[in-house]
Structure 1
Amino acid sequence: MKKISLIGILAVALIFGGLAGLNAVNASSEKTLDEQIRGNVNQMVNNQINDALGQINEEPLLSPGLIKKDPALNNAQQMVLEGRQIFRFDTFGDEAFWGDTLQLHKAIAGEKFGGVGPGVNPKTALAVGLKVDVDALPRSLIRDLEKGKVNLDDPATTLALLKLNAVVGVKGTFDKNGTITTMGITCALCHSTVDNSLAFGIGHRLDGWANRDLNVGAIVSLSPNLKPVADLLGTDEATVRTVLNSWGPGKFDAELFLDGKAFNPQQVTDGVVTGTNVSGATLLPNAYGLAGFNQHTWTGAWGSVPYWNAFVANLEMHGKGTFFDPRLDDATKFPIAAANKFGHVLTDPDEDMITSKLPALQFYQLALPSPKPKAGVDFDEAAAKRGDEIFGGKAQCNNCHTEPLWTEPGWNLHKPSEIGIDSFEADRAPDGVYKTMNLGGIFVRERGLFMKPENKGRFYHDGRFATLLDVVDHYNNFFKLNLSDQEKNDLVEYLKSLSSP
C-alpha cells in the first residue's frame, strides 16, 4: 500500500481527467450524471493508471474501498462533484439583480404570461445563443422535438424548458401557479455549450467550452428596466442598449462597469489602424485547460482562477458575497469601480452565497481538460509534424507558449509593444499587459465546432484575426520570421493539434 500513496498525486490528477471526461460529446443521454459517475469513473481511471503502471497489489487503485480509505482521493471526488454542481446550477443569489432589478424574466415570459412584450420563444432564444441540455428533457419531449411537434414559436415552450432546468446557465423561479417570478444566471451560461446531438443548440453539455454563439448584450438589452445600469454608467438607457448591441455573439465587456470605456477608439495591428470605435467587449474565454499556470484572463495581473471566480460572481453576475481588491480604488483608472467601492464588497458570512463555494468551483474548473483533436479529422498529421519543428525552431513560438501548458509557467504576461498590437484592452487592466494565451484546444475555434459558421475562428482577445493563418501572418510580419507559405500552413496544422492537461 505504500506504493499506492507514492502515486497519490498521479491518481488525483487522473480522477480529475476522468470526471471531466464525462462531459464528452458522446455522453449517453439515457444515463443520469450520477449513474455515469458511479458506473464509469472508477473504470476509466483504473484503466488509465493500470495501463501505465501495472496492477499494484491486488486492490484496484481507485476502488470504492480505496477512495473511502484515502481522505485525499475522497475529498478530490467530492470537490469535483460539488464544483460541477456549482458551475452548472448555482446563481450565487444573483436573482436579485437579473430578476428583481433588471426584470429580465418578464421579458422572457411576455405579456401573455405575466411579463412584458412578446416574450422570448425558443427560436429567438436559440438565435441569441442560449443552449438546451438534452439530458434534462423527458423522453417524451425529446420524441416530440424529433418529430417537429413542439411549438418553437411560443414563449410558453421557453418557460417549460426553464421549469425543467434545461436552459444552460439560466435558472427560473416559479410560484405555485407556474408563473415565473425571477431568474438568475450561472457560470455555465457563458462557459458551457452543447454538442448539438439532438438539434442545433440542443445537446449534451460541454462544460468549459466558451459559448461562441451567446449574444450576452442582445439578451441583456431585452430587459424592461436598464435604468440601474444607465445610472451606474452615467448615461441613458438608449445609450446602454447601443453599447450592449455592439458586443455581438461570444463577447462580453467585463471592464465596462469598472471604467465605462465602451469602445476602442483606434484598433492597431502591426502599426496599421485596422478599426475605429471598435467595441470594447472581448471574447468569452474557455474554462478548460487551466491547470498549471497563473494568469487566466485576456489581460494581465487580474489574477488566476480563484480571483476571477470571486470577481465575476460578485461584480459581473451580481451575486451575494464578499470581494476585496484595493486596486479598484484607483479613480483615474477605474472611476466607476472606485465611486461605487467595488473593491470593498462586504457581506455578512451568514448571508454570503459565494465565498464558501469558491474552493470546489476552482477544483472543478482545473479538472476540465481541453478537447483533444483527432489526426486526420481536426488537423493534418504530416503537416503538424513539420509544424512542430517550426514552432520550436524558426518561429520560436515556444519562447512564450511553453509545452505542454502552451503559456509560460510563472508570470505569463507581455506588454502590447511585445506582440505588435494596441494597448486599449491592456490599459484597462491593473498592469497594462496582455496574457500569453494557452493554446490547448484551439482547433475548436478554427474548425467552428458546435457553433454557428459565422462565429468560428476569431482570435486574440477581441477576435481581430479571423483565422489562425491570420495570426501566423501577423507574427511572421511583426517578428520578421520570413516563413514560407508552406511553413505557415504547417505551423497552423501544428497549432490545431495541441491540447492541454
Structure 2
Amino acid sequence: MNKANFVPWKLILFCFLITGLIFNSMTFAGGQAPLSSKSSIKMALKKDPIMKNAAQMLTQGRDIFRFDTFGDEQFWEDALHLHQAIEGQQFGGVGSGLSPAQALELGLKVDVDALPQDIVQALEAGQVDLNDVAVTLALLKLDAVVGVKGTFNGNSLQSVGITCALCHSTVDDSLTHGVGHRLDGWANRDLNVGAIIAFAPTVQPLTDLLKIVNPDITDENVRTVLNSWGPGKFDAELVLDGKASNPQQVTNGVVTATNVPGATLLPNAYGLAGFNQHTWTGDWGSIPYWNAFVAILEMHGVGNFFDPRLDNAAKFPIAAAKKFGHITVDPDEDLVTAKLPPLHLYQLSLPAPQPRAGIDFDEAAAKRGDELFSGKANCTQCHAEPLWTDPGWNLHTPAEMKIDAFQANRAPGDTYKTMNLAGLFVREEGLFMKDENAGRFYHDGRFKTLLDVVDSYNARFDLKLTDSEEKDLVEYLKSL
C-alpha cells in the first residue's frame, strides 16, 4: 500500500476543515465572507478562540492518546512488577528479560519516527541484535515502543506503564514488520495482551479478584485464561464478572464452538465521529465514559469513576464486591478526568483509512454490491450511510441478531452494537498484521472472512443472495 494513504491526518487538515465550517456559518449568519488563504487560516488559528481551543485540545489529545499512562504504573509496576520481567536479571530484574524479538512476537510495535537515524540504518542493515534485552531497554528509553512508557534511573528500568496507543495504534511496517510510522486509531491485531500480562512475575492481584467468584482459582489458572485470549483480543469484563469463557457460541441456532475464550477483538478507534454506543456490547456509555472506564478499571490509572450499575452483584459480582463503580481520589491526584475532553476530541478526529479502487477492491463488483447493500441485502436497515451504523440508538438484541447472548449479557444493556463498516478492507486484507491475524469479524472473531459474514447473514435472514451476489457485496464492503 502507499504509505501516504495510511499516515493519520495532520492537525492542520482538521483545523482547515473546522475553519471552513466556522467561516461558512458566519456567512450564513450575516458575518464575514469565507476565508481560504493560508494566511487567513493561520490568522484564524491565532485569533479565533474556537479555532485556538480546538487546535490546542487536538494536540493535547494526541499526546494523551500516545503517551499518557494516567498513573497506571501503580499496577503494572507496583502490583505486577512487569518492569522486572522486561529488564531481566541481567539488569536488576527477574528472569531472562524481554528481547526485541520476543516483544515483536507479542505484537508490540516500534515507532520508527522515535528512532535516531543511526539506529534506523543499523536496523535496515540487520546490524541490531534483536535477541538482546539491552536493545529493548534502549527502545523504551527512546519512547519508541508504541503504547509502553518506561521510567529509568540510569540504565535501570524503574517502572513501566501503558497508554491508549498500546491497543489502539499500530505501525505501517515501513521499515520492517512491527517497525514503522504510527497509525493511531488502528487496532493492533497482533497484540497479545493476555500473554503480556501473563509475562509478569506475579498475577496475584488478578487471582485475588477472581477468587471472589471462584475461591479455588490459582495463579496458574489465571495465566491459562490470559494466554487463551490470543492476538488482538482483550477481555474487559473479566475483572467485573469473572467469566472466562463462552460455554456455547451459537449462530442462527447452531452451536459453532464451545468454551470460547471470553475476550473480544480490540476495536478500531477511527471513524467513530457521530456514533452513539461504540463498544462491541451495548449501553456502557459514550466514548468519554469508556475512556474513563478503561483508564481506571482496566489500565488501573488514578482517577475518579462512577457507575452504580456495577453494584449489580448478579451481573457484576467482582465489581460489586470491590465497589468499582464508586472509585474516588482527591481531585488534585486525579490523573484522568481532566484529560477526557481532549482525548475524546482526538479520537473523534481519527479518520478511517481509504481503500483504493482496483487495488483494495474490484470497482465494478463494488458498484453491483452497492445496489445489493441498500436493496436485496437490506444492510442499510442498520448500517445507515455514511455512519455505517444506526443513527441514534445503534444497539440490537441477540435475538434480533440470531446469535448467542453471552457477550451481550456481560454489558448493562444486554445488547450488541451495530458495527461501523469503514476500513473493513484493512482486516480483510490483513494490512500491517501477521497473516494469521487477518480477517476475524464480529466481536469474538467467529467469522474468518467478510464472505463468511455475508454468507451467515444470507442464511440467518433468508436474503436469498446468490454466490456471485455475495461476492459483489463483499467488494462493496471493502470499498467503504
TM-score normalised by the chain length of structure 1: 0.90
Shift of 1:41: 7.1
Q: Would the aligned equivalents of 1:46 and 1:60 in 2 still touch at CA under 8 Å?
A: no
Q: Would the aligned equivalents of 1:23 and 1:207 in 2 still touch at CA under 8 Å?
A: no
Deviations 1:263-297 (A, max 9, x none): 00111111111111110000000000010020010
Aligned counterparts, 1:308-347, within 5 A = 308-347=290-329
Tell me the residue number matched to 1:245.
227
Asked if residue 426 in structure 1 is aligned to residue 401 in structure 2, the reply is no
* C-alpha distance 429-44 of structure 1, shift in aligned 2 (>3 A): closer
Aligned counterparts, 1:20-419, within 5 A = 25=6, 56=34, 59-60=37-38, 63-175=41-153, 177-234=154-211, 235-419=217-401
Q: Would the aligned equivalents of 2:6 and 2:353 in 1 still touch at CA under 8 Å?
A: no
Aligned AA (1:233): L
Tell me how far apart the structure 2 counterparts of residues 132 and 108 of structure 1 sit (CA, whole Å): 16
Shift of 1:318: 0.2
Q: Secondary structure at the match of 1:243?
A: helix
Q: Would the aligned equivalents of 2:441 and 2:449 in 1 still touch at CA under 8 Å?
A: yes
Tell me how far apart the structure 2 counterparts of residues 380 and 42 of structure 1 sit (CA, whole Å): 34
Aligned AA (2:191): L
Q: Secondary structure at the match of 1:297?
A: coil
Deviations 1:169-220 (A, max 9, x none): 0000101x22001100000000000000001000000000000000000110
* C-alpha distance 89-293 of structure 1, shift in aligned 2 (>3 A): same
Q: Secondary structure at the match of 1:63?
A: helix
Q: Unpaired runs of 5+ in structure 2?
A: 28-32, 212-216
Deviates more, 1:156-165 or 1:40-49: 40-49
Tell me how far apart the structure 2 counterparts of residues 104 and 57 of structure 1 sit (CA, whole Å): 53
Q: Would the aligned equivalents of 2:70 and 2:295 in 1 still touch at CA under 8 Å?
A: yes
Q: Would the aligned equivalents of 1:211 and 1:250 in 2 still touch at CA under 8 Å?
A: yes
Tell me how far apart the structure 2 counterparts of residues 183 and 209 of structure 1 sit (CA, whole Å): 23
* C-alpha distance 128-66 of structure 1, shift in aligned 2 (>3 A): same
Shift of 1:56: 3.9
> Of 456, 460, 463, which residue of structure 1 is paired with 2:445?
463
Tell me how far apart the structure 1 counterparts of residues 35 and 219 of structure 2 sit (CA, whole Å): 68
Tell me how far apart the structure 2 counterparts of residues 242 and 353 of structure 1 sit (CA, whole Å): 32
Q: Secondary structure at the match of 1:184?
A: strand
Deviations 1:18-62 (A, max 9, x none): xxxx995358xxxxx9xx767x77789889999xx9x94575485
Q: Secondary structure at the match of 2:471?
A: helix
Tell me how far apart the structure 2 counterparts of residues 115 and 246 of structure 1 sit (CA, whole Å): 26
Q: Would the aligned equivalents of 1:46 and 1:62 in 2 still touch at CA under 8 Å?
A: no
Tell me how far apart the structure 1 counterparts of residues 127 and 49 of structure 2 sit (CA, whole Å): 50
Q: Secondary structure at the match of 1:210?
A: coil
Q: Would the aligned equivalents of 2:5 and 2:354 in 1 still touch at CA under 8 Å?
A: no
Aligned counterparts, 1:425-444, within 5 A = 425-444=407-426
Tell me the residue number matched to 2:461.
479
* C-alpha distance 45-411 of structure 1, shift in aligned 2 (>3 A): closer
Tell me how far apart the structure 2 counterparts of residues 356 and 127 of structure 1 sit (CA, whole Å): 35
Deviations 1:305-350 (A, max 9, x none): 1110000000000000000000000001000000000000101100
Deviations 1:365-393 (A, max 9, x none): 00001111110111100000000000000
> Of 464, 473, 476, which residue of structure 2 is paired with 1:491?
473
Shift of 1:63: 2.0
Tell me how far apart the structure 2 counterparts of residues 188 and 135 of structure 1 sit (CA, whole Å): 15
Tell me how far apart the structure 2 counterparts of residues 196 and 48 of structure 1 sit (CA, whole Å): 35
* C-alpha distance 388-92 of structure 1, shift in aligned 2 (>3 A): same
* C-alpha distance 41-255 of structure 1, shift in aligned 2 (>3 A): closer
Tell me how far apart the structure 2 counterparts of residues 280 and 188 of structure 1 sit (CA, whole Å): 22
Tell me how far apart the structure 1 counterparts of residues 36 and 404 of structure 2 sit (CA, whole Å): 60
Tell me how far apart the structure 1 counterparts of residues 384 and 309 of structure 2 sit (CA, whole Å): 30
* C-alpha distance 57-341 of structure 1, shift in aligned 2 (>3 A): closer
Pairwise CA RMSD: 2.1
TM-score normalised by the chain length of structure 2: 0.93
Q: Percent identity?
A: 66
Deviations 1:110-149 (A, max 9, x none): 1101111111100000001000000000001001111111
Shift of 1:475: 0.7
Aligned AA (1:361): L
Shift of 1:71: 1.1
Tell me how far apart the structure 2 counterparts of residues 416 and 258 of structure 1 sit (CA, whole Å): 21
Shift of 1:77: 0.8
Structure 1 runs of 4+ aligned residues shifted over 3 Å read 22-27, 40-50, 55-62
Q: Unpaired runs of 5+ in structure 1?
A: 1-21, 28-32
Q: Secondary structure at the match of 1:357?
A: helix
* C-alpha distance 23-187 of structure 1, shift in aligned 2 (>3 A): farther
Shift of 1:262: 0.3
Q: Secondary structure at the match of 1:424?
A: coil
